Amino acid sequence: MFNLKHAALAVTASFIAAAPVMAAPVSVASPPPGRALLLIPLTLTKVQDIHFGTIIPSSTTAGFVTINATTGGRTGSAGITLVSTDQGQRGRFAGAGSAGQKVFIDLTPPTELANPAGDKITVIGMTLDGPALRTIAANQSFFVGVGGTIFIDVNQPEGLYSATYDLTADYQ
């Protein structure tokens, strides 16, 4: 029994000693993102949030900021400064179903965005990138873009404003 233990240790030690020397792993300075979107039929999945970007309000003129539902482009009215390094984006959703199936998209926007201090921004409206009634493509998927317009008051207090909205898909 004593010799069997020594033999087992000797075999284990020889495996350890015979292991190749590996170079230390080096990571990429900025890891590249890897993504995949999996869709289950008769579902609706958020791909990205709508974001109005960084905005500087005027001290003399109220204005509007709009995100285009189709292109994701952002525009602002006179008196509003749109910060170019944070341009925002449209909301985007994906769904799946049978090819040729009809789906009705219903959007219920919030009435306002609020920051943690309780300050509010009025949501003028939100839009879809196309008709509410859609036909699912031959590849069995569909995408929905969401845009909107908000009202920025004179001297609007700073802060991160947010709210939620409902988007539903009624498969026909």
Q: Is the pLDDT of residue 27 over 80?
A: no
Query: For residue 137, which phi and psi values (nearest 5 degrees)?
Result: -70, 170
Nearest to 92 by CA among 35, 41, 44, 29: 44
Three-state DSSP at 169 gives strand
Contact yes or no for 121/156 (Cβ under 8 A): yes
Residue 5 pLDDT greater than 80, yes or no:
no
- Tens of pLDDT along 31-41? 667 777 776 77
Q: Mean pLDDT across the stretch 138-146?
A: 95
Question: What's the predicted TM-score (pTM) here?
Answer: 0.77
Q: Identify the bridge partners of residue 75 per DSSP, sorted by sequence position.
A: 66
Choice between 89 and 3, residue whose per-residue pLDDT is larger: 89
Does pLDDT of 21 surpass 60?
no
Residue indicated by tokens 């004593």: 2
Residues near 53 by beta carbon (within 8 Å), at least 6 away in sequence? 65, 74, 82, 83, 86, 87, 88, 89
- The more confidently predicted of residues 169 and 19 is 169
Question: How confident is the model over 6-15, as pLDDT tens digits?
Answer: 333 333 333 3
Which CA distances in Å does 157 have to 51, 53, 59, 119, 153?
Answer: 18, 15, 11, 7, 9
Instruction: Provide the pLDDT confidence category of residue 20 given band limits of 50, 70 and 90.
Output: very low
Domain ranges in the chain are: 37-171
On whether the 37-171 domain is CATH 2.60.40, my answer is: yes
pLDDT tens for each residue of 49-100: 999 999 999 999 999 999 999 999 999 999 899 999 999 999 999 999 999 9
pLDDT at 28: 52
